[in-house]
């Protein structure tokens, strides 16, 4: 499958599932780095020497060690985690589905 076919397939799947956006939940203090480097996984930040603020629950991070190559994204903007961490410098970043289709790094 060539790149254009792959993009069309991703677009079709997102439309079928009625997904217009993906959401990334993060600490406001990380925004400058995200704007500079993009959304990167923990492992990518470590590999590139990019310092990041770790505001995560360490107990949870230990359980999800195998996912540190991924950037956590949500299909909704009302996750339970949002309500448990209100007023702790947390923000939601909305990713338009057109970016999801165009970017090769999102699979």
Task: Render pLDDT for 41-68 as a digit per residue (tens, 0 to 9).
Answer: 888 999 999 988 777 767 777 777 677 7
Q: What is the mean pLDDT of residues 89-107?
A: 73
Does a structural domain hold residue 53?
Answer: yes
Q: Which letter does DSSP use for residue 74 in this model?
A: B
* Rounded CA separation 48/50 (Å): 5
Please indicate, yes or no, if residue 47 is contained in any of the structural domains: yes
Domain that holds residue 81: 3-102
107 in a structural domain: no
When pLDDT is averaged across residues 25-33 and rounded to a whole number, the result is: 88
28 in a structural domain: yes
Q: To the nearest whole number, what is the mean pLDDT of the chain?
A: 80
Q: Report yes or no on 10 lying in a domain.
A: yes
CA neighbor of 43 nearest in space, from 72, 5, 11, 19: 72
12 part of a folded domain = yes
Cα gap 1→7, rounded to integer Å? 10
Based on the structure, what is the number of domains in the chain?
A: 1
β-strands 90-96, 21-27: how paired? antiparallel
């Amino acid at each position: 499958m060539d790149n254009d076919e792959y993009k069309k397939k991703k677009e079709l799947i997102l439309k079928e599932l009625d997904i217009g956006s993906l959401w990334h939940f993060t600490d406001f203090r990380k925004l400058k780095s995200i704007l500079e480097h993009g959304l990167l996984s923990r492992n990518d930040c470590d590999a590139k020497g990019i310092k990041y603020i770790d505001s995560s629950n360490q107990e949870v991070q230990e359980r999800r060690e195998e996912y540190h190559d991924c950037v956590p994204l949500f299909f909704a903007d009302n996750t339970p985690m949002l309500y448990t961490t209100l007023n702790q410098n947390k923000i939601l970043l909305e990713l338009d589905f057109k970016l999801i289709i165009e970017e090769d790094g999102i699979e």
